Copies of this chain bind each other. A is one copy, B any other.
């Protein structure tokens, strides 16, 4: 069987399973999740053994240490997967909720019911825990899913897929509700993203390169996450203490995350006060500061100083590097953000009511904050309970995507024999 046929078969099976999943009640879906969590705990040794096969192959293939690190299934990673599933069980069921039921002058009563999207394709790299997180979110939200993990994690993903199947069957759900693509052939991805008849949405979890490639070919809609070029703007009316704490946290709490600040904007009147304080903290982490001329003058003597180029304003460093720019005030700050931001997350530090409210309203990003670190832009911190990813899109789901993002609203009409006049 060729890859296209194989993927077509997975698609048909998923579509069929999605009907049973949409019908299944909350208790049944939760039962499956609990059985999977139990299975992972019970089979931890087997999972570690499967992971060892992947790790050995990856080491032999010369995979970079950072990639090996992501591939590793530590005891902690196993415990986190299990804990994650149990947390998903505890979340309220999003499916079937009917909202806004209103009588209309015609006599019909109209509302909206939350329903699963149907079949969700998830494409990801390395980390085997995504297999379980994604399967868990899709089962909870009544969807069927097709998972395409990284080829380097194939043994571990196969072992996890087996446990997921057992959990589904144990709860009386179709085993094809979660299918792991069992081939490392890249053509499988090409097939998955061009089967709109079987797949309702693709969630890619991976680097910018992966997503750019998918965008060119996909005919299935995507909930996609591009880069995170996040800004903190320190307004002239900022509280200095908050500005310094947030300016340091947003950059240095973690470097590799998409909600990390990449550019710091400072209002001219306050820059000379706040920037030296921040620089003292950045120096402890050896953060390289790429500053415009004005900021560089204030930072003179800073040990890791460089001149910012045009390219810096649109670079996601994911490293101990920060672009710094002095602006006139909120208008120039918002112009800069609207021009260079990837529309992920921006924060203003200010005690000025009108400046804060303008920033909230006028900055066109998925998350807009007043006096908080950009690092809070995250499904868990927002209270979604779990997240399948963070969306840079404006349609459907924007920002951290939880269970609701995997659902849709259909109109329901309760009638009493009404006909249109």
Interface residues of A (CB under 8 A from B): 19, 22-23, 96, 102, 104, 106, 108, 110, 113, 115, 117-118, 200-201, 221, 239, 241-242, 245-246, 248-250, 253, 338, 347, 360-362, 364-373, 375-377, 381-383, 393-396, 398-400, 408-420
The answer on a CB contact under 8 Å between B415 and A371 is: yes
The answer on a CB contact under 8 Å between B417 and A241 is: yes
The answer on a CB contact under 8 Å between B364 and A115 is: yes
The answer on a CB contact under 8 Å between B417 and A242 is: yes
CA distance A416 to B221 in the complex (A): 38
The answer on a CB contact under 8 Å between B414 and A104 is: no
Task: For the complex formed, measure the closest distance between the CB of A221 and the CB atoms of chain B, giving whole angstroms.
Answer: 5
What are 9 of the A-B contact pairs (CB < 8 Å)?
A19-B362, A113-B368, A115-B361, A245-B417, A360-B412, A368-B411, A371-B415, A371-B416, A395-B396
CA distance A413 to B23 in the complex (A): 36
Closest residue of chain B to A196 (Cβ to Cβ) is: B215
The answer on a CB contact under 8 Å between B368 and A415 is: no
CA distance A368 to B250 in the complex (A): 47
Output the residue of A19, A110, A201, A393 with the most chain B CB within 10 A. A110
CA distance A388 to B411 in the complex (A): 16
Given contacts A360-B412, A395-B408, A410-B365, contact A373 B420 (CB under 8 A): yes
Please name all residues of chain B whose beta carbon is closer than 8 Å to the beta carbon of A377 when the two chains form the complex.
411, 413
The answer on a CB contact under 8 Å between B420 and A383 is: no
Closest residue of chain B to A248 (Cβ to Cβ) is: B419
The answer on a CB contact under 8 Å between B253 and A420 is: yes
CA distance A367 to B368 in the complex (A): 34
